[in-house]
Amino acid sequence: MKLKCAAIAVCAMLLLSANVSAEEMKTFGIGVILGKPTGITAKYKIDHRLAVDAGVGWKTSGDDEFYTYADVLYHLHDVIVVKKGKLPLYLGAGLRYVNRDKDDDKFGIRIPIGAEYLFDGLPLGAFAEIAPVLNLSPDTDVDLEGGIGIRFYF
């Protein structure tokens, strides 16, 4: 509980002290994702179109599962035009590993598809994504992951 309060306080201080427009937004962002998985997410923008996204998290119900994933994302900036900020769509490919207490661990290929709203005047990005996963072990099958989240960019 103390860790959650400290994280909220740090985020609030960073938001209140920041005054950076979307054009000046830095290349590294960190934040939270809620969904499957729920946890911490980070994104590094290589250039205007390419980024690397990674996260760690857990499943919020059922068996104890710990997730890690990493994706390469390609952004499409001009598909959706908004009056303030920016709303690029993205798609990508990556890997996902799930450590499961009761069963064999899972390893698979992720195909994330989503959109991230980049706020005008704040170093924030709010996103929503879905990610079909082709599990390669312990069995070949398909999962569907996804979530919503927010990142603070440095």
Question: Domain of 98: which CATH number?
Answer: 2.40.160.20
Q: What domain range is 40 assigned to?
A: 2-153
- Residue 99 tokens, joined: 């450590």
- pLDDT surpasses 60 at 9: no
- Angle CA(36)–CA(131)–CA(89) in degrees, nearest 5? 115
pTM for the structure as a whole:
0.80
Identify the DSSP state of 115. E
The whole-chain average pLDDT of the chain stands at 86
- pLDDT surpasses 70 at 1: no
CA–CA dist 112, 59 (Å, integer): 18
What's the number of domains the chain is made of? 1
Q: Is 153 exposed, middle or buried (0-12, 13-18, 19+ CB in 10 A)?
A: buried
Task: Name the β-bridge partners of 55.
Answer: 41, 69
pLDDT-derived band at 21, boundaries 50, 70, 90: very low
